[in-house]
Chains A and B, each alone.
Chain A
């Protein structure tokens, strides 16, 4: 796939890299439709954080679910999702108490929580300025955009059945 990669100080370049794959059964892969550049991406750009070469950057993505692991419960292929910059396991003290930016399980390299696209100190999760992204703990680390058309149709259907019942 194509992705924006770190190539050294003041060198972010589009490059072909390997497609992300499901690793844990709670992962999903999304096809990215939009992705922001953030001021904090400039910390890498200026050399304040130095990931390995070809590391994929970015932490403001959204897109369409392409594939889900067997342990993902609430998402399926085709769902539209926005991905937060925090990676949260959804199952620790911090995630359970609305402090998911300090998730205890998602960062094997240190005590602070994990972030997409910030190198090894923050979990070593590749980022979202790319065509595809692996999202760990997919059920928790995502916001599923409600399908408004479907929702409205359901409401209409319920209303019309009430109406039929009344008449």
Chain B
């Protein structure tokens, strides 16, 4: 097998697989995946494989949503056109999804009219994906946080989780023990791990490709180096 088929066993594939497993997605579930970057796109594939009957992708980068529709046949919502996307998803799913998986983390886009971080400098980035998740999950549903939050979170809506009996599961995926199983799935062509690759670069191009990847320019989804 080629490097490109195997490389994402290092992180993207097992992190996505574990997110779906850890969140307890089961046959017939509606799953909302926040963020349609590499982890979000791979998570959409594993949600289908786990038996979800509805998979919904949310992002604000149109080419990534387009990729999600094309490769994973999911419904998509662009939240840049929809300030109240959490409430909209709650309505569109008839009371919320069984599982919402946050594949964004603290680097998410800051909504208009919201301050970035806090004046106390204790929060890095935004928790807007967690707010959207709390609004779009059903009562007794589960929010799985896979995107990274490394600091305190100001105005975290704990009450919204408690009063609606929502479970919150989080953390870095333990990936080592699931690599062999996922290798077999790649070998058996259960899913295609390569369709997220948009850019291949040499180490010398680091400054340039980090800039492209950061700004999500040039149709970028996943950049890999070939040293």
User: Could you list which residues of chain A lie within 8 angstroms of chain B, going by C-beta atoms?
Assistant: 2-4, 10-14, 32-43, 45-46, 48-49, 58-62, 82-86, 88, 94-95, 98-102, 112-113, 115, 128-131, 140-141, 143, 145-146, 148
Interface assignment of B122: CB less than 8 Å from any CB of chain A: no
> In the assembled complex, which residues on chain B have CB atoms less than 8 Å from the CB atom of A84?
9-11, 14, 175-176, 179
Indicate if the CB atoms of A62 and B174 lie closer than 8 Å. Answer: no
Indicate if the CB atoms of A62 and B6 lie closer than 8 Å. Answer: yes
Indicate if the CB atoms of B224 and A143 lie closer than 8 Å. Answer: no
Picked from A35, A59, A60, A82, the residue with its CB within 8 Å of the CB of B227 is A35
Interface assignment of B124: CB less than 8 Å from any CB of chain A: yes
Picked from B106, B151, B174, the residue with its CB within 8 Å of the CB of A102 is B174
Number of residue pairs spanning A and B whose beta carbons lie under 8 angstroms apart: 160
Given A48-B151, A85-B11, A143-B183, 20 further pairs, Cβ under 8 A = A2-B203, A2-B204, A3-B203, A33-B227, A36-B222, A37-B213, A37-B224, A43-B124, A58-B225, A59-B10, A62-B7, A82-B6, A82-B9, A84-B10, A85-B10, A95-B176, A100-B177, A102-B174, A129-B206, A130-B227
- CA separation between A40 and B213, bound complex, in Å? 11
- Least CB distance, A131 to chain B, in whole angstroms: 5
Picked from A36, A48, A98, A113, the residue with its CB within 8 Å of the CB of B11 is A36
Indicate if the CB atoms of B227 and A62 lie closer than 8 Å. Answer: no
